[in-house]
Amino acid sequence: MEASFWHERWNANEIGFHQNKPNALLEKHFEGLRLLQGDRIFLPLCGKTLDIGWLLSKGYRIAGAELSETAIIQLFEELKVTPAISKVGALTRYSARNIDIFVGDIFKLSTKLLGAVDAVYDRAALVALPEKLRKDYAQHVVEITRNASQLLLTFEYDQSQMAGPPFSVVGETVRKLYGDSHRITLLEKSDVAGGLKGRVVAEEAAWYLEKP
């Protein structure tokens, strides 16, 4: 995916991938990461997901990365918080109490800039990337988070029936990407009600990627 694709989607408000409530699998499985209030969670390619507000309400701190500045402006507006904005290297950081979002190319985000995190919640990042970028992305996230445990959500469907994003990411792919760095557990698969985008039969899967 070219960066221009995502900028165009946000600028045109073509954001069918944005959910109007916190993700049900997040609510069901997040406690399994065994985090404490005040722990810091990294959300790659976070957009303006309502999952952020849900996690903040539970007492967690948030770090995120997002390509679209439009999405992050809207995120803080919806949180009713005025962020401090600063340049950090090639990125722009939007910060407020318990939340730091880095706007720009996620591959420009380093461990030093990100700071310590206790877990990763990936709902929309891996499935947004075409196959050719997934290995580099997975390795980068493992590196900058110091191999933190993850709650990972994916979709599985017949890719020939619909072009992504979101793309189909099957279990074999998850294991190839993260099998060397994490213990992998499939938590559940559930049918996507009405089909993905109302067009194709699909399942949503939830995974724990545990730090050894």
Q: Which residues are annotated as a binding site for S-adenosyl-L-methionine?
A: 10, 45, 66, 123
DSSP letter, residue 20? S
Strands 119-122 and 40-44: parallel
Distance CA 114, CA 65 (A): 9
95: nearest Cα among 78, 83, 111, 81: 83
Task: Give the residue numbers of the binding site.
Answer: 10, 45, 66, 123
Per-residue tokens: 120: 């990763």
How many other CB atoms are found less than 10 A from the CB of residue 122? 23
Distance CA 122, CA 124 (A): 6
Per-residue tokens: 39: 């722990």
